[in-house]
Amino acid sequence: MASVAFEGVTKIFGDGTRAVDELDLHIVDGEFMVLVGPSGCGKTTALRMVAGLEEISSGAISIGEHVVNDLSPKSRDIAMVFQSYALYPHLTVYDNIAFALKIRRLPKAEIRRRVEEAARILDLQPHLNRKPRALSGGQRQRVAMGRAIVRQPQAFLMDEPLSNLDAKLRVQMRADIKRLQSDLGVTTIYVTHDQVEAMTMGDRVAVMRKGELQQVASPDEVYRRPLNMFVAGFIGSPAMNMLEATVERRDDALEIVVGEARIELGHATVAAHPALASYNGRPIVLGIRPESLEDAALVADGARHRLPGRAELREALGPDVLVHFSIAARQAVTDDVRELVEDVGDDRRLERLVSGVGSRATLVGRFSPDTRTREGDTIEVALDERSLHFFDPHTGLAIV
Amino acid sequence: MGIRLLGLGARAVILVVFAIFFIAPVLWLILAPTKSDHALITSSPFSFGSFHNVAQAWNHLDAYSDHLYRRWIANTLIYSLSATAITLAISVPAGYGLALGKFPGRRVILTLTLVVMIMPAAALVLPIFLELNALHLIGSVLSVILPFSFFPFGVYLAYIYYATSIPSELLDAARVDGCGEWLTFRRIALPLAKPVVALVFFFSFVSNWNNFFLPYVVLADSNQYPITVGLSNLLASTPSFNPAVGGGGQSVNIFKPELALATLLAVIPVAIVFLVSQRALVRGTLGGAVKQ
């Protein structure tokens, strides 16, 4: 087991595409690092460079003490789980798992011992003599994992290994992989497009965008204190609501003016964002997580701020209710927001964003299941100002 | 209802007419050795003679020039199998390299392969003859085997197969698992190429078996002839086809039934190769490799 380090790593493809740009990232020994970002952000390219499947244009990648730039994949002692599993179709499950050990000419008894151990861990014993085509998706995925763990490599590289499984199986495999990794303690780099996987599995999460690293931190940190609008919008589902707003000073207090509403910030909030004062009279982007919004009828605490709105859509999820409602304010439309909407593939929303936003913005709130809100109702939404996020509309950076 | 029936009837008539048109000559050929030369003309074309006649036709054919017919079949097998073996050894790795390798000149080689593929073999006979002559190979076994060992169509088939049917992640997985380029080919790409190996084997074998012009030009000794050249030689020395050679003091017992048998027997190895390779062509070898 070893640490993995990217130092100023850049990858430029033949057509001039800069897939990874000056990536600096240190993954400590035994860590579970998740690389997350929208498609085309360079996360898979970064992973393939560690594997040696993609050449490095500049910079250095080290595994343990050694720079591996010029080593072929077979000399890097890493194991990889592919998105498509890439099982050898002409070999049985046993031979698939044993393949790398046979290539390394380990003694037969040792190979058998290791394969059987892996099969036991992954519940594959009954399937050892079957060919991959006779297996279900989940079983194939486990064989791919088995092929990685028998190697006892320096590091695991996983390229969206769960994206081909159905939702229920994915939840289970997510937990299984996490448990397996912490049992084995092998340094792992896990690439995913799915922010739920990123949040639940990683010791740390590295958010990438267009080849550039945006933020590296614990899942909790990335969620609570995103460094910029892109990270804020990418992590969290439903996504953070983003509104155009202005900062105004009234007497001693700071107020955020959003549409017709004014939100007075408490001392704690101002103390947490000292730079906000310098934005007096200037526009900012206000970020509100859906869970910071609640049906005002259910909130006893009168101190909370209230936004008047109209309920447009109600989605009951069971433990909570997502209410889409409009308020008199303007949706923030920046490049980050556009890219995030594009990534989700929401054409209608993209069209609305690009064609200019009206005087009303649609927000999503995560309400308690007790809410009686119906579509078309005029409602009041309570807002917890302590959990607001503020961004500079020009740089996209968080104002702290 | 009436129109539907009429349509069905018209379709059936067209199918039957075409079927008869194509099947009749084959049926005639199969039945011909069962009849005597005389009966072949006088009796109904599709009547069955007797197995005795088949045996007699074989005895006549086999006796021709001291078992020369067997010699031709053996020659053809040697030529075809040797050239096909070399073809397989060359074209499968070549197609793999062209499909998945990254090296300068790849496109040029691919285009050249395609150009040579669509060039008629007969067009190359003269330059090949001159080349073989310069190498002093005219008249040797190699003069038939070597020119047909390069089979561009085989390279093309292997190229198409590797470019479309083998997911590159599979080869990446092998590399990460510790294989160098040779082992990746040997342990993963080659075993997965069974369908295309069968296909190349079939096409190469058939084209070698049916090869006529080049051996006709480069071989002089009738003991070295492949079956194609042999059959034309047999035709030329049969009194019923070429009255000029008739009689001549020597009795040549080669008549139409013997010729029909000779032709029929010459097709059998190709039919066997077809049946054998067809089994290996069945799809599904790649099932389960990657999620579709």
pLDDT digits (tens, 9 = 90+) for A166-204: 888 899 899 999 999 999 999 999 999 998 999 999 999
With beta carbons under 8 A apart, name residues in chain A contacting B195: none
Q: Residue B288 has what pLDDT?
A: 45
Q: Residue B286 has what pLDDT?
A: 46
Query: pLDDT per residue over A327-358, tens digit each?
Result: 999 888 877 777 777 777 766 666 666 555 56
Residues of B at the A interface, defined by Cβ within 8 angstroms: 167, 169-170, 172-180, 183, 187-188, 191-192, 284-291
Closest chain B residue to the Cα of A155, Cα to Cα = B176
Closest chain A residue to the Cα of B174, Cα to Cα = A100
With beta carbons under 8 A apart, name residues in chain A contacting B286: 89
**How far is A174 from chain B, CA to nearest CA, in Å?**
19
Report the distance separating Cα A194 and Cα A204, nearest Å: 15
Q: Which of A104, A132, A137 sits opposite B178 (nearest CB)?
A: A104
Percent of chain A residues past pLDDT 70, beyond the cut: 96
Report the distance separating Cα A321 and Cα A371, nearest Å: 8
Closest chain B residue to the Cα of A144, Cα to Cα = B173
Q: Which of B174, B177, B288 sits opposite A89 (nearest CB)?
A: B288
Residue type, A223: Y
CB contact under 8 Å between B179 and A87, yes or no, is: no
Sign, Cα dihedral of A295, A297, A301, A303: positive
Side-chain half-sphere of A397: how many Cα atoms within 13 Å? 6
Nearest alpha-carbon partner for A265 in A399, A396, A388 = A388
Return the structure tokens found at A236.
Answer: 């969290």
Residue B256: which H helix or E strand, with range? helix B256-280
The dihedral region occupied by B249, where left means phi > 0, alpha psi between -120 and 50, and beta the remainder, is left
Phi then psi dihedrals of residue A351, to 5 deg? -60, -45
Q: Has residue A303 got a pLDDT over 60?
A: no
Phi then psi dihedrals of residue A362, to 5 deg? -100, 130
Query: pLDDT per residue over A247-282, tens digit each?
Result: 999 888 899 999 888 999 988 899 999 999 999 999
Report the distance separating Cα A267 and Cα A343, nearest Å: 37
Q: Which residues contact B139 (CB under 8 A, 6 or more apart)?
A: B218, B219, B220, B221, B224
Report the distance separating Cα B150 and Cα B117, nearest Å: 10
The SS3 assignment for A185 reads coil
Q: How far is CA B249 from CA B63, B69, B252, in A?
A: 17, 22, 9
With beta carbons under 8 A apart, name residues in chain A contacting B284: 133
Q: Which domains can be identified in chain B, with CATH numbers?
A: 1-49 (no CATH), 59-289 (1.10.3720.10)
pLDDT band at A41 (very low <50, low <70, confident <90, very high): very high
Report the distance separating Cα A200 and Cα A217, nearest Å: 13
Q: Supply the DSSP string of B8-30, one letter for each residue.
A: HHHHHHHHHHHHHHHHHHHHHHH
Q: Residue A248 has what pLDDT?
A: 94
A238 preceded by a cis bond (ω within 30 of 0): yes
Residue type, A206: A
Report the distance separating Cα B276 and Cα A190, nearest Å: 47
Average pLDDT score, chain A: 91
Q: Supply the DSSP string of B102-171, one letter for each residue.
A: --TTHHHHHHHHHHHHHS-GGGGHHHHHHHHHHTT-TTSTHHHHGGGT--HHHHHHHHHHHHHHS-HHHH
Q: Which of A73, A90, A133 sits opposite B176 (nearest CB)?
A: A73
**How far is A105 from chain B, CA to nearest CA, in Å?**
11
Report the distance separating Cα A338 and Cα A209, nearest Å: 13
CB contact under 8 Å between B291 and A131, yes or no, is: no
Return the structure tokens found at A281.
Answer: 């009279």
Q: Which of A51, A86, A89 sits opposite B287 (nearest CB)?
A: A89
Q: How far is CA A197 from CA A161, A188, A209, B231, in A?
A: 11, 14, 17, 72
Q: Answer for the pair A119, A125: CB distance below 8 angstroms, yes or no.
A: yes
The number of C-beta contacts closer than 8 angstroms across A and B is: 95
With beta carbons under 8 A apart, name residues in chain B contacting A89: 170, 192, 285-289
Q: Has residue A137 got a pLDDT over 70?
A: yes
Residue A378: which H helix or E strand, with range? strand A378-383
Report the distance separating Cα A311 and Cα A293, nearest Å: 13
Nearest alpha-carbon partner for A201 in A38, A80, A85, A34 = A34
Report the distance separating Cα A261 and Cα A247, nearest Å: 12
CB contact under 8 Å between A132 and B288, yes or no, is: yes
With beta carbons under 8 A apart, name residues in chain A contacting B197: none
Instruction: Please list the ranges in chain B whose pLDDT falls under 70.
Output: 1, 240, 245-252, 280-292
Report the distance separating Cα B213 and Cα A165, nearest Å: 58
Q: Which of B172, B187, B192 sits opposite A86 (nearest CB)?
A: B172
3-state helix, strand, coil in chain A (%, to 5): 35, 30, 35
CB contact under 8 Å between B176 and A137, yes or no, is: no
**How far is B189 from chain A, CA to nearest CA, in Å?**
10
Length of chain B: 292
Closest chain B residue to the Cα of A101, Cα to Cα = B177
Report the distance separating Cα A297 and Cα A380, nearest Å: 7
Q: Residue B292 has what pLDDT?
A: 41
Q: Is B213 exposed, middle or buried (0-12, 13-18, 19+ CB in 10 A)?
A: middle
3-state helix, strand, coil in chain B (%, to 5): 75, 0, 25
With beta carbons under 8 A apart, name residues in chain A contacting B179: 74, 103
Residue of A68, A88, A115, A141 to mutate, testing the B interface (most B Cβ within 10 Å of its Cβ): A88
CB contact under 8 Å between B187 and A134, yes or no, is: no
Q: Which of B175, B284, B288 sits opposite A140 (nearest CB)?
A: B288
Q: Residue A253 has what pLDDT?
A: 86
Q: Residue A255 has what pLDDT?
A: 92
Return the structure tokens found at B71.
Answer: 């010699």
Side-chain half-sphere of A173: how many Cα atoms within 13 Å? 21
Closest chain A residue to the Cα of B290, Cα to Cα = A84
Q: Supply the DSSP string of A273-318, one letter for each residue.
A: -GGGGGGBTSEEEEEE-GGGEEEGGG---TTSEEEEEEEEEEEE-S
**How far is B161 from chain A, CA to nearest CA, in Å?**
16
Nearest alpha-carbon partner for A400 in A242, A293, A279 = A279
Over range A284-312, report the average pLDDT.
87
Q: Has residue A245 got a pLDDT over 90?
A: yes
Closest chain B residue to the Cα of A87, Cα to Cα = B289
Residue of A13, A50, A76, A87 to mutate, testing the B interface (most B Cβ within 10 Å of its Cβ): A87
Q: How far is CA B282 from CA A340, B100, B195, in A?
A: 46, 24, 7
Q: Has residue A319 got a pLDDT over 50?
A: yes
With beta carbons under 8 A apart, name residues in chain A contacting B183: 103
Q: Residue A349 has what pLDDT?
A: 66
The SS3 assignment for A16 reads coil
CB contact under 8 Å between A74 and B288, yes or no, is: no
Residue type, A167: A
B279 C-beta neighbours (distance < 10 Å), count: 8
Q: Residue A81 has what pLDDT?
A: 96
Over range A361-373, report the average pLDDT.
92
pLDDT-wise least confident of A230-234, A333-337, A373-377, B117-121: A333-337
Over range A311-335, report the average pLDDT.
90
